Chains A and B, each alone.
Chain A
């Protein structure tokens, strides 16, 4: 069992998060996690792989959605470098193309949201691709991470709404009785 997120805080007030010198608003009770995007098939993260914040949204039924401009600005990726799949998302009736990619979840420093433990990022193998929207007006302010991203790894996410903390760990492999 490995702990990936340890006492990751969320807040009952609005905050901001900084990405490459620019601050983005995070609403109260939104859960920020830091992720990276890579091609599928990589066992190790790339050394220069940029990380950026995403909102963990348990109501989002897909793995991940990001705007094309955010993909360029936050992840340093041109969408064309991710292979197009034959499916699409249709959040709120909009057509959003899907591309093959995996995500990496960055372990936080205990009790800190925007600082990191230094441990290797945790690979989230994504089955159905990530959505890359290009709507100029209507898209999430920050990328959304849905529970489907945790499906294959079986990551256990525990949200403590009294302490305003989130913990995530890999499932126990063995049980002792």
Chain B
């Protein structure tokens, strides 16, 4: 099988499994609330569920599971629509902003300039 033996992508595929197009979860208050609840709960979640996934709908934890997909199915199975819940991975770096800000980065906290 080679790269050329695949369907041409000439137009956007239709959304599947009832997933909506043009959704902006960031503007959905219940999604934002769910994210905030996960962030608050993360320190406790890390103690017992490290490297698992957690689903939140508003302030309610809907479950902990080993895979994201399992929780998606659980949430949509309860009638929730995408964007009304969040499924996040429980890891220590879950909330870190880890982007390099430039090609050269100087850690000013530790770097001591020596004029000599």
**Chain A residues with a Cβ under 8 A of chain B:** 17-20, 34, 38-43, 46, 48-51, 53, 61-62, 72-78, 80-81, 83-86, 89-93, 100, 102, 109, 114-118, 123, 125, 127-128, 151-152, 154
Number of A-B contacts (CB under 8 A): 132
Give CA–CA (A127, B86) in the complex, Å.
10
The reply to whether A90 and B26 form a contact with Cβ atoms under 8 Å apart is no
Partner of B3, one of A18, A40, A83, A152: A18
Residues of A near B13 (CB, < 8 A) are 46, 48-49, 76-77, 81
The reply to whether A125 and B99 form a contact with Cβ atoms under 8 Å apart is no
Contacts A46-B13, A86-B31, A154-B51 known; 12 new A-B pairs at CB < 8 A:
A40-B68, A40-B72, A41-B69, A41-B72, A77-B9, A83-B23, A84-B23, A84-B26, A86-B32, A92-B102, A127-B89, A151-B89
Number of interface residues of B (CB under 8 A): 48
Partner of B73, one of A17, A39, A43, A128: A43
Given the contacts A83-B82, A85-B26, A93 and B3 also touching, CB distance less than 8 Å: no
Residues of B near A100 (CB, < 8 A) are 25, 82
Residues of A near B100 (CB, < 8 A) are 61, 91-92
Closest chain-B Cβ to A74's Cβ sits at a distance in Å of 7
Closest chain-A Cβ to B70's Cβ sits at a distance in Å of 9
Chain A to chain B: the 10 pairs with minimum beta-carbon distance, closest first: A76-B9, A41-B72, A127-B89, A86-B26, A125-B68, A61-B98, A78-B12, A83-B23, A50-B9, A48-B7
